[in-house]
Structure 1
Amino acid sequence: PQTMGTSPTDPPASVPRETIIPIDVNQKTVSSLMDLTGASTPTRDFEAAINGTALARPPMNQEQFDAQFAYIPGESEMKRRLKKTGQRYINPFTSCAAFKHSLFGFIPILDWLPNYAFKSFIIDDILGGITVGVMHVPQGIAYAILAQVSPINGLYTSFLPPLIYTIFGTSRHNSIGSFAVVSLMCGMAVNRFTDPTNPKYNDTIAFIQDPEMRPSQDQVASSLTFLIAFAMALLRLDFLTTYFSDQVVAGFTTAASIHVLVSQLKDALGIRNLTKHDGQVGYLVMNLYEMALRIADVNIYACGISLFCIVFLVVGKEVISVQLKKRCNFKYTIPYELLLMIITTVCSYCFNFQETLNVKIVGDLPNSPPTPAVPRFDLMPSLIMDALAITIVVYAVHISLAKMFAKKQNYEIDANQELIALGITSVASSFFPIYPVACSLGRTLLNFQVGTKTLLSNVFSSILLLSIILYLGKFFGPLPMPVLSCIVIVALTGIFNKFKELRLLWPVSKIDFSIWMVSFLSTVFIDVTPGLAISICYALFTTIAREQWPRWHLLGNVHGTLDFKDSERYEDVFFFHAICIFRFDSPLLFTNVDRFKKCISKAMSQWERSHEYYVFRVERTKVLTDLRDGVIKEEEVDEGEALSRHFIIDCSGFTFVDYMGVSALKEVYVEMRNRGVLVYFAAAKAPVRDLFSKCGFYDYVAKENFYPTIRDGVAIARLRQKARGQQDVQYSLEHDRLSEIMSAVPMH
């Protein structure tokens, strides 16, 4: 940009010159006011633009603008919230239609099931339900082991919660059930209550005096599930999760997946009786170190089974399925996990792997439906932190997947209703031996790929699982544990693709990159729950830091337009003489008011060093001396006088201003006036102006200093300069009357 607004035709400031301002007494418009300093071409363009050809109205201040266009004052935030809350609970009872609408919103199945396109959707829903149900079997059993509960509980978790979610949910593709990360977090809590070798065991159950009242694994898991539902209702996570960026979720889930992977290595390698380090800082590294020390205890047969399982799954998924789809247009999904379970179970049963090879197996699975029981409420105070962490993970993962697949299929989900659906699902599930449920990325993606149309697919999935629970579950007793570990390990490979995000994040945002890395490293090297807390706190800190150290800009007028842009971003911009436009890109809060004042000082220093701060002195000129009642008069003035200076603060970046922010604006205003500078405020948002009115800011700074746009502020500043002519600046500060100046500007 030209140096602080000097146009190529402007002479040096030290060179005096004579300027004759042409006055057309018959043209009563702003265009008759030409530049006192020589009127460069960009200046003429701007004044021609405000002549009415580009604007449908003359320049005016904010008060005049509000009066002319009937500004509606906003109601108080408290009143608005109370009104909205009242409408939420009262509107359903105002009419039958409103009650029906609210009921269908709370129980969505009442809306979509009567309109179900049976002929078009039923086949896809049956096939999708069966396919996902088959996937539930190996994952349910494997993740139950991870959650430190009986394997049959994994099938219960895959059977009942999807049915409940079908009634209240709005996402057609999210697969509710077991999830590796949540199972791991649940397992840590269960282990703390039930494993005497856990370092925190004695502290955790110290409040339980009667040994017979010590909780079982199922009781801890179900109590945790109930507490998660309570946390969802209390925290209103649909609001809180807006602060959980994708980088927090991605870094945390990737790190938690590494915890899951390490937890499966002992069964995959056949190492038994490892020392428990769960709950200690850096326990992941401790577990890896101990496994390295116990490498001599590895069961070679378990390693062989694990190697076979990994090769079977990887070749099947990455080679056979890809080739079938490519060459034969094969559209169906082959359940390699279930096939692997069947093959290895048969082999284990025939060759008695447990006795002959010393390979650990699943054991007996009861053929009975889940038995209801009341959760242990006395355990809940000790489970609060676990519940909060799991709740955040459950909802963050669930809503991100729901939005992603809804966007792909062009339908809408209700985030608040999803919170309600998950809460009701957790409450109902807590009365059965079920551990916390969540949405699984792998099953949800499979649900999408097989073409599932509606939530009715969950019914067919649960029917399949119920038949397995009642009739087929017992046949999986001989299933080797290394098989389940390998199923979990291979299922996690997709999660590690999130490392690819780092390559994209680095050039876009170093802060987002750091959020991802902090989330990942803190979760890996400390622990899952503390890692999540650190991740969220760091993400919030970066948000505060961005507001505390925002950017500021000096704005210039883009040649030939009415736009004002950052002078560092555009070359073809210029500055008006003795007018500086400043923008601060942040809410004005107690965290950044000191920086705001420093930025103002820097802008003033830069302005004072520039050519534009000082106005050219003139030897002789004709100026307007009286604009009252539309009468234009000319008068010659002597040299040595100067135009007044104007500092315009662009308030468009102020989404909110707190009390200290208002005080900072007052300080800036006083300091500027003491330096002989008029201060204008332009483009302030309506809520900010309402706040100024409530806090008495207008009693301190006149409303005439506020303008609806930067264009208005600049136009009025130039009108003041020209109408005032060469009057003394201090006199102008004390006696300037905008109404007298504006009376000369006719309406277009």
Structure 2
Amino acid sequence: MWNMFLIYDPRHLNLQYMMIGLSSPANPYFISRPIYSKRAFDEEHERQMLESRTFKEKFTTSCRCSSSQVKPVLKGLFPVLDWLLKYPVKLWLASDIISGASTGLVCCLQGLAYALLVSVSPVYGLYAAFFPILTYFFLGTSRHISVGPFPVTCLMVGSVVLTLAPEEQFIHPGNGSTVNGSWVGTEEVDVDAMEAQRIVIASTMTVLVGLFQLAMGMLHVGFLVRYLSDPLVGGFTTAAAFHVFISQLKMVVSVPTHSHHGFFSIAYTLSDVFLNIKQTNIADLVAGLLAIIIVVVVKEVNTKFQHRIPVPVPIEVIVTVIATGISYAVDLKSHYGAHIVDSIPRGFVPARFPNIELIGDIVGSSFSTAVVGYAVSVSVAKVYATKHDYKIDGNQELIAFGISNIFCGCFSGFVATTALSRTAIQEGTGGKTQVAGLISALMMLIVIMGLGPLLQPLQKSVLAGIVIANLKGMFMQLTDVPILWRQNRTDCYIWVFTCIVCIVLGLDVGLLTGIVFELGTVVVRTQFPSCSTLGNIPGTDIYRNMKDYKNINGIAGIKIFKCNSPIYFANIDYFKEQIRDTVGFDAVQVFKKRNKALKKIHKLVKKGSLKVTESGLVSIDPLGVVNEGFESEKDPEQVESGPQEVDDETRRDVDVEVQVDWTAALPVNVTVPKVNIHSLVLDFTAVSFLDVMAAKSLKLVIKEFIRIGVNVYIAGCDDDTVRRMESLCFFDEVVTRDLLFLSVHDAILFIKLETSTGTISDPIADKISQMQDDKAPPPFTEDENQIETYDNQHLAIHELSV
């Protein structure tokens, strides 16, 4: 197709629009090129076919080993080699040391505090903050994140711990006495046994989380985290903040409560707190509230004056030191019954293998925790990678965190990921690389090996207050809701729904429910995609939705339909409905009506009510009057002279060639839906794929239009979709590759060219004419009850649709 077209687009040349660069609408451009169909373009520019390789060839290529490939592989497995060999000691070491020291102090305190969320002794929080840093230093790709416990994952582990090892399971009879002649016994909790069982559960789950992450990294399925959208993660973490707040609230007020988890756990815990509010320990309550207020206020000051303060004030450390000193000096445990940390042994516990018998009970929760932990860490890592212009490898991050959690779990730690607040401190204090992480690990090593016992008088309510104060950033995500409502209401629904179900049903079930709801919104949006009828802006090759612009024109005889979505089994019916609404008729019903009308025309010709001439059908009433819209072979004088009888010879003249122009006027007693277009253009620029069902249905739709004389063209279909069509046997003798065009404008110009030369015609009528040239139709026979007709149109359409 070498017909050239030229576009001149002055775009309202006017000095008042002359602006800088491309912002001016007064920059015209000129194009002179052929009108391309897809076939013509591929032939002229020699389209290259994709090379097809067998699995054996791909496997052989990927398993080749050479000296040039060893270095990239090693750097991929150990990303530290990529930057450590080029580490500028003089420029970065001092900053990393300061940053590591500041972050290490915060990690120590957060490790102690977050251990309460897991329902284990605080010393295990130090292990969870120490061991993952050592392995991530060598295997991680992020240079700025601070690896360690995070409230959300800690709470997810804690819920499993409380489920499998509730306090009631370790109650045994204690000492008793005789009152009024009756024995009254007391119940005691075997704290040592409970603590041992809980740490076994937490460490086993941590190892399993690491195995899941390691497996996903090795299988390169890091893309799974992409199903956790920002609104879903925002709603989930906000709900987790509520769970964390309630779990720590009972420690701040220091009242006895039962262990609740799962459905409505927040409601049950609040009920226990209020029912036992009279048993509040005032010393713990005051200490906890003061810790919350002081930490929140100072953190606000740090944020507001971060450009003036070289290093943020380590308020958690200061509060902890002061609270420990006061508790030790006043002896709050003995005098006021305060609940203190009590036991922080020096050194490490021996490494131990996880309890395999527990795997069946924790496998589901472990997988969800693995996904959540990875999603949180990668989200934070991407923020700082973008800020400092380097890349992270999602699959390598899975491997790094997987090995880190396996290593941590074997030494009685619990699940590690990262936290935005801790990472912000590490980066904000000048941290350049994971050398800062090593320094923070050194700080924790000092605490574990020597300073740990000094923290034994610290009140648990102070640690709980520090945890609550650090939830501020997560609670501030509530301000995202009105923003999402204005920007995208579907994302807002995802956020709110996920948050509510996670609060009500628990984090694990709520997360799964939120993911299902999120995927459901995607299905609904693709099942009912945005479709539009396009029009042309005069003098340009631009086509836009006719509802969106005033100065846009439709094209006579042509409809342009655009679908802004992939087409697959779930939305193909909606796609067909939208096409029917666009063209204004149902092609199947039009075909049936025409088929029925053709039979009726044969019958009217046989009866003599219609006469076939070279100029078309003539409708004659018994008085010889020609119906409006039909030509007559009668002499005008005969019409004026009076009524004329239709002779029997005319009535019996049925062996005639009947070709119907369905766009012209028909006899008054023959009704057929009007088809006011001759061409339909499908704009597939936004269609990324077709599945088997969609391809079959689309092919059938095209044939339905072709058989009623409406030519269908597909424009803007990308090469991948065309290859998909070819593999699905989409093209045949009727639906050929010639209906594909590079752009909508190519298709429109081709249609106009073909229309002007008279090439486009009714294929049914053409086929009928061809059939009648080859074979005359058999005569009609009529009796009292039945009229048999020879259905030329049915045969023609059958041949066209084969």
With over 3 angstroms needed to count, the CA separation of the structure-2 counterparts of 1:560 and 1:438, relative to structure 1, is: same
What residue is the counterpart of 2:731 in the other structure?
Answer: 698
Assess, with a 3 A threshold, how the Cα gap between structure 1 residues 658 and 82 changes in structure 2: closer, same or farther: farther
Distance 2:36 2:760 in 1: 23
CA positional deviation for 1:390: 0.6
Tell me which residue corresponds to 1:130. Answer: 101
CA contact (8 A) 1:578 1:646 kept: yes
Structure 2 partner of 1:254? 238
CA distance in 1, matches of 2:514, 2:235: 9
Amino acid aligned to 1:428: F
AA matched with 1:719: L
C-alpha displacement of 1:81 = 8.2
- Structure 1 segments, 4+ long, off by >6 Å, are 80-85, 212-215, 639-644, 732-736
The aligned counterpart of 2:45 is: 69
The 1:82/1:650 distance shift into structure 2, 3 A limit, reads farther
Within the alignment, does 1:496 sit opposite 2:472 as a pair? no
Secondary structure in 2 matching 1:580? strand
Specify the code of the residue in structure 2 equivalent to 1:226. V
| Residue range with higher mean Cα deviation, 569-578 or 589-598 | 569-578
The question of whether the paired residues in 2 share the 8 Å contact of 1:158 and 1:176 is answered with yes
How does 1:590-739 map onto structure 2 within 5 Å? 590-605=569-584, 645-699=678-732, 701-724=735-758, 730=764
Q: 1:435 aligns with which of 385, 409, 414?
A: 414
Q: How far 1:352 moved relative to its partner?
A: 1.0
Q: Which residue, out of 239, 242, 247, partners 1:263?
A: 247
Contact 2:569-2:693 within 8 A present in 1 as well: yes
Give, in whole Å, the separation in 2 of the partners of 1:443 and 1:178.
10
Question: Would the aligned equivalents of 1:652 and 1:685 in 2 still touch at CA under 8 Å?
Answer: yes
In the TM superposition, 1:331-480 aligns within 5 A as 331-480=310-459
What is aligned with 1:37?
Answer: none
Q: For residues 142-541 of structure 1, what are the structure 2 equivalents within 5 Å?
A: 142-197=113-168, 216-235=197-216, 236-272=220-256, 274-279=257-262, 281-319=263-301, 321=302, 329-541=308-520
Structure with bigger gyration radius:
2
State the one-letter code of the partner of 1:275. H
Structure-2 change in CA distance of 1:432 and 1:84 (3 Å):
farther
Residue 556 of structure 1 contacts residue 575 of structure 1 at CA under 8 Å; is this kept in 2?
A: yes
Q: Do the aligned partners of 1:156 and 1:370 also contact (CA within 8 Å) in 2?
A: no
Specify the code of the residue in structure 1 equivalent to 2:63: I
Shift of 1:488: 0.2
- AA matched with 2:295: L
The Cα of 1:284 is off from its aligned counterpart by: 0.7
Amino acid at match of 2:199: D
- Give, in angstroms, the shift of residue 405 of structure 1: 1.3
Alpha-carbon distance between aligned partners in 1 of 2:386 and 2:722, rounded to the nearest angstrom: 37
Q: Aligned in 2, Cα 1:474/1:726: closer, same or farther, shift over 3 Å? A: closer
What is the CA–CA distance in structure 2 between the aligned matches of 1:333 and 1:213, rounded to whole Å?
Answer: 39
Question: How far 1:407 moved relative to its partner?
Answer: 1.1
Match of residue 79, structure 2, among 104, 108, 113 = 108
1:613 is matched with none
Structure 2 Cα separation of the partners of residues 396 and 653 of structure 1: 30
Structure 1, 590-599 or 673-682: larger mean CA deviation:
673-682
Give the letter for the 1:363 counterpart: D
Give per-residue Cα distances to partners, 1:483-518, cap 9 Å, x unaligned. 000000000011111111112111111100000001
Equivalents in 2 of 1:98, 1:439: separation in Å? 32
Contact 1:165 1:421 in 2 (8 A): yes
Q: Which amino acid aligns with 1:307?
A: L
Mapped contact 1:74–1:687 kept (Cα < 8 A): no
Contact 2:338–2:459, Cα closer than 8 Å, also in 1:
yes
- Rounded Cα–Cα distance in structure 2 between residues aligned with 1:690 and 1:29: 27
Q: Provide the identity percentage.
A: 30
Tell me how far apart the structure 2 counterparts of residues 181 and 31 of structure 1 sit (CA, whole Å): 62
Mapped partners of 1:344, 1:644: distance in 2: 84
1:554-606 Cα deviation digits (max 9, x unpaired): 11112221121211222222222211111111111111111011111111118
Cα distance in 1 between the residues matched to 2:252 and 2:271: 16
C-alpha distance 671-726 of structure 1, shift in aligned 2 (>3 A) = closer
**How far apart, in 2, do the equivalents of 1:74 and 1:139 lie?**
55
2:336 and 2:237 map into 1 onto residues whose CA distance is 35
Verify the 8 A CA contact 2:683 2:714 in the aligned structure 1: yes
Asked which structure has the greater RCO (Cα within 8 Å, sep 6+), the reply is: 1
Residue type of the alignment partner of 2:197: S
Distance of aligned partners of 1:175 and 1:29 in 2 relative to their CA distance in 1, 3 Å threshold: closer
2:210–2:406 CA contact under 8 A, matched in 1: yes
Distance 1:388 1:654, change over 3 A: same
**C-alpha separation between the residues in 2 aligned to 1:663 and 1:551?**
22
Q: How far did 1:73 drift?
A: 2.4
Query: 1:128 & 1:30 partners in 2: Cα distance?
Result: 67
Task: Tell me which of 552, 558, 569 is aligned to 2:548.
Answer: 569
Gaps in structure 1 of 5+ consecutive residues: 1-27, 33-40, 42-52, 200-211, 609-617, 619-638, 737-748
TM-score, normalised relative to structure 2? 0.76
Paired residue type of 1:164:
T
Residue type of the alignment partner of 2:694: G
Q: How far is 1:650 from its partner?
A: 1.1
Residue 259 of structure 1 aligns with an amino acid whose one-letter code is H
What is the CA-CA distance between 1:224 and the residue it aligns to?
0.9
**Secondary structure, aligned partner of 2:410:** coil
Compute the displacement of 1:295 (Å): 1.4
Normalized against structure 1, the TM-score is what?
0.81
Looking at structure 2, the residues matched to 719 and 411 of structure 1 have their Cα atoms a distance apart, in angstroms, of 54
Following the alignment from structure 1 to structure 2, what is the Cα–Cα distance between the partners of residues 412 and 605? 52
Q: Report if aligned partners of 2:354, 2:410 keep a CA contact under 8 Å in 1.
A: yes
Q: Is residue 237–residue 395 contact of structure 1 (8 Å, CA) maintained in 2?
A: no
Structure 2 vs 1, CA of residues 735 and 137 (structure 1 numbering), >3 Å: closer, same or farther? farther
Q: 1:216 is paired with a residue of what secondary structure?
A: helix
The answer on whether the counterparts of 2:4 and 2:32 sit within 8 Å (CA) in structure 1 is no
| RMSD of Structure 2 on Structure 1 (CA) | 2.8
- 1:391 and 1:728 map into 2 onto residues whose CA distance is 63
Question: C-alpha distance in 2, partners of 1:322/1:650?
Answer: 52
Cα distance in structure 2, aligned partners of 1:149 and 1:213: 9
> Relative to structure 2, which stretch is displaced further, 126-135 or 400-409?
400-409
Query: In the aligned structure 2, how far is the partner of 1:698 from the partner of 1:423?
Result: 49
Q: Which amino acid aligns with 2:728?
A: C
* TM-aligned CA distance change 1:529 to 1:701, over 3 Å: same
The alpha-carbon deviation at position 726 of structure 1 amounts to 8.6
Distance 1:709 1:595 in 2: 24
Gaps of 5+ in 2: 7-11, 13-28, 171-192, 588-628, 630-662, 666-674, 771-802
Count of matched residue positions in the alignment of Structure 1 and Structure 2: 640
CA contact (8 A) 1:580 1:607 kept: no
Contact 2:114 2:149 in 1 (8 A): yes
2:4 and 2:33 in contact (8 A); partners too: no
Query: Which residue of 2 is the match for residue 554 of structure 1?
Result: 533
